[in-house]
Amino acid sequence: MSLERQQGIIDGINKIILEVVDDAAKEYANDAFAKVISDEETLKKMMDMLKNKLSDKVSTELDRKVTDYINSNNIASRLTDTVINKLKDYGSGTVPLVKIVKLNDTEIGRSGKEYFHKSFDSILSCVSLDDPVMLVGPAGSGKNIAVSQVAEVLGLDLYYTNNVSNEFKLTGFIDAGGRYQETEFYKAFKNGGLFFLDEIDASDPSSLVVINSALANDYMAFPNATIDKNPKFKFICAANTFGKGGNLEYIGRNILDAATLDRFDTIYFDYDRDLERALYPNDDVLNFMWTFREAADNLNIHHIVSTRSIGKVYKKYINKIPCEEILLSNVIKDLGEDDLEMMIGKMRELHSYIEYNDFYKKIKTLKLGR
């Protein structure tokens, strides 16, 4: 390395550190580079040594300069109320992040700033493997939202159909004018997309048999043509029961064909408290609704306290709607007085702190007048 190049390096380094190091450090740098020879390995070692020697001093000095700048310019007090309130909107210091979903360490999709149900990753994994999925869970647990999030993450269009009363709701039909009337299922099967059949257990079982071949094979005969399945076709259905017929909560549910049920990976989709807390961050609402739900379960009283109903209570409560009105329209609903009295007692037995809750105080004084 020429003497001119050595001197150029020294001058450059001095210029960079002029503002943040003292004369002793600069003298050290000059001495070090004066010993540099043409050997590149020696040069690299000298650079590493210099970096280690100066790093702490440079960092300390830069921290001091930044702090002085913030204080002298009164940066902290210049944050506007709008910015502060926006930060508070996220609640409890929890900021929703972008959801990045991986399968076997391979990223298969991502979505925006949202909250996700605890079963979301399981659903997405099955769908990504081209397995049809059946979500089974109580009403108002967020199944529809989770399915839309799966479609978003995978970058697919979402096609929706609610309970199938006849096979033409899936296959379509030729109208009186000879024109084929497409269905959501047809469009998803042909063009690709996520087809969501909601309340499959409220569908006519014989009408669902037509999809067996579509799920098992790569083609299906529609009234207008036999169509090959698009490689991007995905299928999710949702139910409140396991396809074995109705129960005391979901009376109008059908027994589904065993061959149809066998096509699906079944995932139980229960209420998710972490999701409810993220969506509706109010302790008065959550503690009351969770304890009310727990009491109903303990007493085997068939009364639904869904994520959806918690959302309604939360929205009304933060908008100053009276507790009595909220309780009557969104919590008690069709409960009889005897069941309600038992639940009030059970709530106190489960969690003594509930006595101090505004909703609990009000529900003890309510007269149903039925």
Domain boundary among the residues 268, 301, 331 is at 268
Q: Specify whether 263 is located in the same domain as 289.
A: no
Q: How many domains does the chain have?
A: 3
Domain end marker among 243, 268, 293: 268
- The whole-number average pLDDT for the span 9-38 is 59
Q: What are residue 180's phi and psi, to 5 degrees?
A: -80, 130
Are residues 134 and 222 both part of a single domain?
Answer: yes
Alpha helices in the chain (DSSP H): 3-17, 23-34, 40-72, 81-89, 120-128, 143-154, 168-171, 184-191, 205-208, 211-216, 258-261, 273-279, 283-299, 307-318, 323-326, 337-350, 358-363
* Position 85 pLDDT exceeds 90: no
Say how far apart CA 354 and CA 70 lie, in whole Å: 47
* Residues 363, 327: Cα–Cα separation, whole Å: 7
Q: Based on the fold, state whether residues 160 and 39 are members of the same structural domain.
A: no
Residue 207: per-residue pLDDT: 83
**Dist CA 235 CA 188 (whole Å):** 9
Q: Rounded CA gap, 74 and 72, in Å?
A: 6
Q: Do 148 and 180 belong together in one domain? A: yes
pLDDT at 83: 45
Left (φ > 0), alpha (ψ -120 to 50) or beta: where does 135 sit? beta
Nearest to 343 by CA among 353, 335, 334, 333: 335
Residues 198 and 231 in one domain: yes
Identify any residues that bridge with 193 across adjacent strands, giving them in sequence order: 233
**Which one is predicted more confidently, 165 or 184?**
184
**Averaged pLDDT, 295-316:** 94
Distance, CA of 368 to CA of 55 (rounded, Å): 74
Give domain status of residue 104, yes or no. yes
Report DSSP state, residue 319.
Answer: T
How far apart are alpha carbons 51 and 226 in whole angstroms? 70
The Cα 84–Cα 225 span in angstroms is 59
Q: How confident is the model at residue 95 (pLDDT cuts 50, 70, 90)?
A: very low
Asked if 217 and 137 sit in the same domain, the reply is: yes
Is residue 117 included in any domain, yes or no?
yes
Q: Are residues 55 and 25 in the same domain?
A: yes
Q: Are residues 288 and 258 in the same domain?
A: no
307-363 pLDDT, tens digit per residue, is 999 999 999 999 999 999 999 999 998 888 899 999 999 999 999 999 999 999 999
CB 339 within 8 A of CB 301: yes
Task: Looking at the structure, tell me whether residues 246 and 162 fall in a common domain.
Answer: yes
* More confident position, 263 or 70: 263
Residue 370 maps to a domain? no
Residue 102: strand pairing partners = 107
Write the CATH number for 225.
Answer: 3.40.50.300
Question: What is the rounded CA–CA span in Å between residue 247 and residue 281?
Answer: 33
Of residues 225 and 212, the one with the higher pLDDT is: 225
Domain end, chosen from 268, 303, 329, is at 268
Residue 212, classified by CB atoms within 10 Å of its CB into exposed (0-12), middle (13-18) or buried (19+), is: middle
Q: Pick from 238, 206, 213, 247: which is nearest to 140 by CA? A: 238
Arithmetic mean of pLDDT, 228-236: 95
Looking at the structure, tell me whether residues 64 and 110 fall in a common domain: no
Is residue 83 in a domain? no
Query: What is residue 203's predicted lDDT score, i.e. its pLDDT?
Result: 86
* pLDDT confidence band for 202 (50 / 70 / 90): confident
CA nearest to 197, candidates 245, 239, 146, 254: 239
Identity of residue 283:
D
| One domain for residues 288 and 359 | yes
Q: Is the pLDDT of residue 30 over 70?
A: no
Q: Are residues 153 and 221 in the same domain?
A: yes
C-alpha distances in angstroms, 181 versus 99, 112, 164, 191?
38, 35, 16, 15
Residue 157 lies in a domain: yes
* Helix H or strand E segment including 219: strand 219-221
Q: Do residues 20 and 45 lie in contact, with contact meaning Cβ atoms separated by under 8 Å? A: no
**Inside any domain, residue 139:** yes
Task: Specify if 35 maps to a domain.
Answer: yes
> DSSP states of 128-182 as a string?
HTT--EEEE--TTSSHHHHHHHHHHHHT--EEEEE--SSTHHHH-EE-TTS-EE-
Whether residue 16 lies inside any domain: the answer is: yes
Residue numbers of the domain that contains 257: 98-268
